[in-house]
């Protein structure tokens, strides 16, 4: 009878261990899903940063064109005033 009781306790322990492993597996799967979502968020953020960088580069180019126009205007004005 003692041996049978020991076997039953061992079986119960194995069942608890199995349940713990399943919970751990579920936690790992949730963590994996969270990492996947985080990776997707980072990818979207990177794309947004690249778009922002492109916008800044376009703005810089516009400013450079504006500066060139101002320089031409200044040269024309100087020519007009001193001729």
Which pair of tokens denotes residue 29? 């799967």
User: In the chain, where does DSSP find H-type helix?
Assistant: 2-81
Q: How far is CA 16 from the centre of its chain?
A: 38
Give 42's pLDDT tier (boundaries 50, 70, 90): very high
Under DSSP, is residue 83 helix (H, G, I), strand (E, B) or coil? coil
For residues 47 and 53, give the distance between their C-alpha atoms in angstroms, rounded to a whole number.
10
Nearest 5°: phi and psi at 60? Answer: -60, -45
Sign of CA dihedral 41, 42, 43, 46: positive
For residues 9 and 59, give the distance between their C-alpha atoms in angstroms, rounded to a whole number.
74
Average pLDDT over residues 61-69: 99
Q: What is the pLDDT of residue 1?
A: 83
pLDDT at 83 over 90: no
Q: What is the pLDDT of residue 37?
A: 99
**pTM score:** 0.64
């Amino acid at each position: 009878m003692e041996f049978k009781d020991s076997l039953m306790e061992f079986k119960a322990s194995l069942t608890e261990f199995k349940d713990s492993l399943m919970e751990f597996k579920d936690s790992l799967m949730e963590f994996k899903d969270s990492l996947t979502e985080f990776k997707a968020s980072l990818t979207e953020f990177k794309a947004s940063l690249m778009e922002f960088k492109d916008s800044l580069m376009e703005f810089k180019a516009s400013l450079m064109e504006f500066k060139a126009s101002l320089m031409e205007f200044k040269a024309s004005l100087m020519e007009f005033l001193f001729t």
